[in-house]
Structure 1
């Protein structure tokens, strides 16, 4: 019985095997649409169709021609196809496939293509006549496209792809009226007077000036700075408030003075933790996301700054995103890079930084008594680094400031003067890369027995796992500030799979002869904007600490109707004193809702102390928000109702309604009109067009009855696409503005009128050796033949493939003098009777058809 089953199964399999033979049934010529690797698309690809089975037979040589594979040949006796495809030699035996022998090609059944063409995927749709295939290799045509893209992006001297003449860019000015944003904030109308403040941004002295001034109840300046972002490549020159970032044991400090810094320096990174800081409008809500999940949130203070400290790094591939929620409901998103490799410079490259200033106290920013042990009128630091090789960088740094050290409620500022030598090395792009940095720092200020600080860090990557070693040996003064002389850290963290990861850490501190050792271990899971994080921190002795367990849960993918919600749960508990030392925090808050923001939180500890609260912020108008707070703890219940009123005023257009969430945003405006005399300028009597949509990036504006468009809330310094939506124009009209991009600066607007003209069509045919084109026979040639429309100086205006029957049509051609040119990119050489033709497309109020611009091929020479 078993033997019979085996025979039956064998016969079934045998009947399913397709033996190679030439197809003898009925078939006809036809055309299909083909898509190769989503990069090569052709609408009229010639095939033979077996209509009985509804299966196409594909010309292999035609497919090679479409992918620009050169030198492919057919050996009909041996049933071999061979040649060279890109950098690889290929030999295909088609004798075990179903095939049709053509005059100059072999047509192989589509389902058999994978046997000869190394396909990863084959898909044929009999209803749409669309074939999609994916190869296991990169085709020569794709390589060609990549090379063309690189040539456009980088010229001989690394020029950008976007040509300067295609970009509308504002001119820097000595002064502009700027943008004002007054604000009144009162969280408790029954008890408080509230705060009146104003933010002002403008162009000043050819730079960007911004300031926040507080008027009531006290008058003082908040964050204030004049910034120049484009004088020095990738650096900002800042006059005013700026953060000084230096060696991590000194932290960071805000000074008022002069600085030359990176455009976006926002983070200090250490083993296992980091700090992120930045500036945003006063009272903005700021959220920090790690790998898509909400991690922390805060509100911007009066000095215009926000800070997230002690961020636990899960692994060195973490993606951190800052979301700043502006008053009007718009969201500003910034991505923060945490990689340390940016300290490595290329060979011969120089990097530097400078900050000279003095500390300016902003009202109410410090808590507790402040004692300066020495007055310093000037503080700051200087950095310089040089790339000795592509893998080795040397640097030096000088710091002179007052360093904070808090003792109870008193902050002592100690005079500090240090000079450091830094060395950075990486093995580069190898299988298991190593990163190393070393700093030797000398204490100039204090003549103590030990004046040297030694810091060394090594980071070794093994696939998705990273081993880090850090060592700190401090001078007498820095040891006093930090509370220990020496510290050694061993850290191992990595990924288990796509969603799971882990970390292990050992920390050894020498506190002036008494050694304390700590350990931690943790595991995490990230998936679909949801994070679970579980870990334990523990001392190796009960003499100096207690073991604690932590669990953090975050879900940023909760939706109720049209509202997105963020949920955070944090538990921190002591093993030994679970009943006495356990903290629980729960928060649920709305996210990315322009009309209403609400949050619920609960805090509880095992000493039976708890607090619960509700905050609601409702946007009544785009300038008025009502705030409600309700809190309850062990003793009492408090509630308050307040308002937040804020409005952006463009001073040069005070009565124009705008939606700019911040004075630093820009706007664009202009007229759209029929340019009857082709002079690119609006003249009296020319028609202004209503209902035309204009786009700057993703922002849109529609012209009114006056033909004027106005687009606001445009980010500064970024080159944005500029276009007219052709669907809002008559089909025979085309916008004739030459600028395809715009680049705007903060707190100012650009102006560009858009002339609209009638368009024309150019058509023609190709004659092949005195006859018409055979779409099947001549496919390898026609598929690689392009018609180009160029300006007289050789710039390509438009380009398209010639259709299989030799016909072409170029539409939406604006008035002007052009050159028509045939460009053949296939194998061999095409000789034309006349390869280029000159024509003048004239201004016509109703558009014109330019026909019979035909080309003749007189010979074809194979290579």
Structure 2
């Protein structure tokens, strides 16, 4: 710049040093700036362009009262050149020794920036450019190169990490055996005509590379209860099952939900929905506790007697959300699943498809022939239009059901308000029966509107007990409360039933909910007599119910008062208190009280106590049972690992697996415990609350590990003296297949460090400072990229946490200058041992630095 365009007021300013951060990677300490006595920081604009290597990509010129900056298009994503013209009066600036300094807050007037931040406590100025720095481009290019090299290993790992877990499967394996003995009532145990309880066997193992499970009653019935061979994730997210499985779907057709044969599906529960009534069935371990949640609160629960649960309940509104939680006999949550109760399939993206297939025997029906079939396919024609086809060929109670079901769902995405239309058509291939279901859903101002129309004929009308049905509902929520208003009308056999319902729910707190429901039902019977005179008989019934529901940890409370004019006792009151088994509690109880205005009172009490993981006793009292008000029973169950039959096993079901291994000092870092390596005793090993400690030999055995989950195996070294140079892994991810185990070696590897420095030849100070801002040290282990580190501002560096192995170090300079080193690569061998070591004197010597010539 020839001549001074700015007043020289150097006496008002002084030299200062700050740390400058520009973009994602560039940081330089001790950058020379000018400061004023009001805290202002002024940057040398030409020095800034040199440091950021923007000199090659920019042209800066000052003409009279304007400053012009021309920036190359390669700095911007759109590759468009920028010309930025700024009036000098807009810049807070000074001139020192012919160089222009711009105050930090106004530098954004000259350069396109996302922001400028002054961090006073660190004395650091952070500048975020709205363009790509040359250093950013070089670093990103280096990372892309490393990622490409790493992708080869990642692809190999991904191919091995398949959900089917082929590498862990076996043709045949010993597996796990569960024995369970139940005494239902001790008072009948010594009676000659009574059985002496029940003895049940359940066995799980790997068989033919699948998950085999069989449950058989050994005494007293001797019946085969369940048998299956499953191949989960064999077909992407589908499970191929040979044996017992649950028919998926939420259809009106009356299949009982379970089939024995061959199936391809992706969930293990079934939902039957008829109007507002839901029947949900699924599988759970015997003696487990199953809870069903409706809108976040427990509405029903049951203890599984066999291996199935079934709930029948009414939907309050179309907004209802359902969830199943399953707890084992000791109160540990083992499964949680949301239940899809909507008709038809979910919408599929364009080109995506889904399917299921079932063939076999209806084990719950009277006809046990192997002739039941059900299959379906769904396809996303567009992102907003899904079509599905299902075929049913089943026999239940000597009734043949052979139906084709067509379903189409469409979302109107271009309307001002969302609108979804679902249409289902059932066509009987055995008789003239037909069924139509049309549903419309929309939302306006956060209020949901729902309308459905159903029409049935012949046998389908008999099964559904309706020839036509229509329903309209409005529902919504405001803060803690939600409501619904609904009208429905049903016609069947000359009878018309009209229902008017409204309900209000209010969350008193996070744990307490109140429901208030009011209803009116009008029934019209149209009977045609022999003299063809129509007799209209009209009746009305009014109902009301208020209920309070609460959940708190292991406790569930409910209190209901119901009114129904069609009952002799119009008012009826019920109350329930339940405590289920908790993970650290030994007892559970349930108290049910019923009372109505005819002074009918009933009381039910059940109490269970577990002495340990295996033995449990229960007591039941029922005031309404005149023959036997009191009952005392007991159950004992044990899961035996047939590979290690004498090892104490705390598994709840035979599907659960185990993890065993050793914790030791891995001197050579090879991951294997060898004779001369020291074991560590007293180290805690656990998954969640399931914990054990290593014995004197450093060994542990952890049972009751859930299959097909990413279990976090955590280590607790508290109370164990460990050398600070040893690496102590805190967590390891474990995934098992059912009834199997996995061995892990937890080696505490000695960690070493390498120290050294980088020396430069005699160069300008600004080049020296820039070098250490643009340099990084690449560390490779056994010829593979390991990590990169930044040297300090004076060239000193430390590479930490190095396990035994061969390492190479080299300098990667990301600046535009050409750098020559005396020795390009330094080789270091980190030796094994019980403690880590220090490797000093690993120094790089730069012999020459040449600046890039600009054309």
TM class by smaller structure: 0.7 to 0.9
Instruction: Indicate the residue corresponding to 1:815 in structure 2.
Output: 804
1:218 lines up with 2:221 in the alignment:
yes
TM-fit CA distance, 1:260:
0.9
For residues 41 and 506 of structure 1, what CA distance do their matches in structure 2 show? Answer: 68
Asked if 1:751 corresponds to 2:743, the answer is yes
1:747 shift after superposition: 0.8
Cα distance in 1 for partners of 2:417, 2:584 equals 47
* Equivalent residue, structure 1, for 2:168: 171
Rounded Cα–Cα distance in structure 2 between residues aligned with 1:27 and 1:260:
77
SS at match of 1:245: coil
**2-structure distance, mates of 1:238, 1:803:** 61
1:578, distance to aligned residue in structure 2 (A): 9.2
Residue 566 in structure 1 maps to residue 556 in structure 2: yes
Deviation at 1:43, TM superposition (A): 14
Contact 1:775 1:804 in 2 (8 A): no
TM-score by length of 1: 0.75
Residue in structure 2 matched with residue 548 of structure 1 by the alignment = 543
User: Does the alignment pair 1:328 with 2:316?
Assistant: no
Contact 2:42/2:101 (8 A) holds in 1: no
| 2-structure distance, mates of 1:606, 1:697 | 50
1:423 and 2:423 are equivalent in the alignment: no
Q: Secondary structure at the match of 2:636?
A: strand
Secondary structure of the structure 2 residue equivalent to 1:481 = helix
1:688 aligns to 2:684 (yes or no): no
Partner of 1:185: 182
For the 8 Å contact 2:775–2:790, the answer to whether it is kept is: yes
- Segments of 5+ residues of structure 2 without an aligned counterpart are 1-9, 190-195, 525-537
Which residue matches 1:582?
572
In structure 1, stretches of 5+ residues that fail to align are: 1-21, 362-369, 404-411
Q: CA deviation at 1:621?
A: 1.6
Residue 758 of structure 1 contacts residue 843 of structure 1 at CA under 8 Å; is this kept in 2? no
Counterpart position of 2:517: 535
Q: Does 1:414 align with 2:414?
A: no
Q: CA deviation at 1:245?
A: 3.5
Give the whole-Å Cα distance in 2 for the aligned partners of 1:820 and 1:346.
50
Measure the CA separation in 2 of the matches of 1:220 and 1:49.
91
Residue 4 of structure 1: aligned partner: none
TM score, norm. by length of structure 2: 0.75
Contact 2:243 2:262 in 1 (8 A): yes
Task: Find the structure with the greater CA-based Rg.
Answer: 2
RMSD of aligned alpha carbons? 5.6
Counterpart of 2:428? 443
Partner of 2:530: none
**Matching residue of 1:496:** 478
Match of 1:519 in 2: 500
Cα 1:185/1:680, change in 2 over 3 Å: same
Aligned residue number for residue 4 of structure 2: none
Match of 1:598 in 2: 589
Residue 666 of structure 1 pairs with residue 657 of structure 2:
yes
Q: Deviations over 1:25-54 (max 9, x none)?
A: 99986789x9x9xx999999999999999x
After TM superposition, the structure 1 = structure 2 runs for residues 383-422 of structure 1, keeping only pairs within 5 Å, are 383-403=376-396, 412-422=397-407
Partner Cα separation in structure 2 for residue 431 and residue 388 of structure 1:
23
Superposition pairs for residues 630-709 of structure 1, below 5 Å?
630-632=621-623, 638-676=629-667, 680-694=671-685, 701-709=692-700
1:724 and 1:829 map into 2 onto residues whose CA distance is 48
How many residue pairs are counted as aligned between the two chains? 792
- Give, in angstroms, the shift of residue 431 of structure 1: 7.5
Q: Which residue does 2:7 correspond to in 1?
A: none
Match of 1:611 among 602, 614, 620: 602
Pair 1:531–1:333, CA change in 2 (3 A): farther
CA distance in structure 1 between the aligned counterparts of 2:339 and 2:649, rounded to whole angstroms? 33
Residues 507 and 763 (structure 1 numbering): CA distance in 2 closer, same or farther, change over 3 Å? farther
2:462 corresponds to 1:480? yes
**For 1:62-115, what per-residue CA distance to the aligned partner results, in whole angstroms no more than 9, with x for missing partners?**
999xxxx99999999999999999999999999999999999997769xx9xxx
Offset from partner CA, 1:424-477 (integer Å, 9 cap, x none): 33346998443333222221122xxx4332222232244643322222221311
Given that 2:466 and 2:492 are in contact with CA atoms closer than 8 Å, whether structure 1 keeps it comes out as yes
Match of 2:724 among 708, 721, 731: 731
- In structure 2, the residue matched to 1:506 is 487
> Residues 271 and 491 of structure 1 are in contact (CA less than 8 Å); yes or no, is this contact kept in structure 2?
no
Q: Distance in 2 between matches of 1:324 and 1:598?
A: 17
Relative to structure 1, the CA distance from residue 63 to residue 477 in structure 2 (aligned partners, 3 Å threshold; closer, same or farther) is: farther
Kindly indicate whether structure 1 or structure 2 has the higher relative contact order, using CA contacts under 8 Å at least 6 residues apart. 1
